[in-house]
């Protein structure tokens, strides 16, 4: 199983970016999917998550600015980030709880995509 993330980049404060992450491999079921981020010198934190039936949760600092969504047919999760702030600068990782055809790990991680917000 692989998670392939894309969509990071450099943007000015107030701008927008859309992150995408697609899962591939011998997947039986995908449960929760989410996005984490890790800024330099800080611990990785959960930014947003979405259940298989579309219920979303957000960390307080991004509520009203970020929107998480998923496409179950494409096995993909997205993060629309609007009104970006310099403090959103971090490496963003997608995560998914995946039950595979052959039993294996439950949590899978994407490779990380860098988001840089300039002031």
Q: What pLDDT score was predicted for residue 105?
A: 81
72: left (phi over 0), alpha (psi -120 to 50) or beta: alpha
Q: What pLDDT score was predicted for residue 76?
A: 98
- Length in residues, the chain: 119
Which residue's structure tokens are 């859309």?
A: 18
* Separation CA 82–CA 109 (nearest Å): 24
Query: Can you list the residues of the chain whose pLDDT is less than 70?
Result: none
* Separation CA 18–CA 109 (nearest Å): 18
């Amino acid at each position: 199983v692989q998670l392939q993330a894309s969509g990071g980049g450099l943007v000015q404060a107030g701008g927008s970016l859309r992150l995408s992450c697609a899962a591939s491999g011998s997947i039986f079921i995908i449960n929760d999917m989410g996005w984490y981020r890790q800024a330099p010198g800080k611990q990785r934190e959960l930014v947003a998550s979405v259940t298989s039936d579309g219920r979303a949760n957000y960390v307080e600092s991004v509520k009203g600015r970020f929107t998480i969504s998923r496409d179950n047919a494409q096995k993909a999760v997205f993060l629309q980030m609007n009104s970006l702030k310099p403090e959103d600068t971090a490496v963003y990782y997608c995560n998914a709880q995946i039950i595979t055809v052959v039993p294996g790990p439950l949590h899978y991680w994407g490779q990380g995509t860098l988001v840089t917000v300039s002031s």
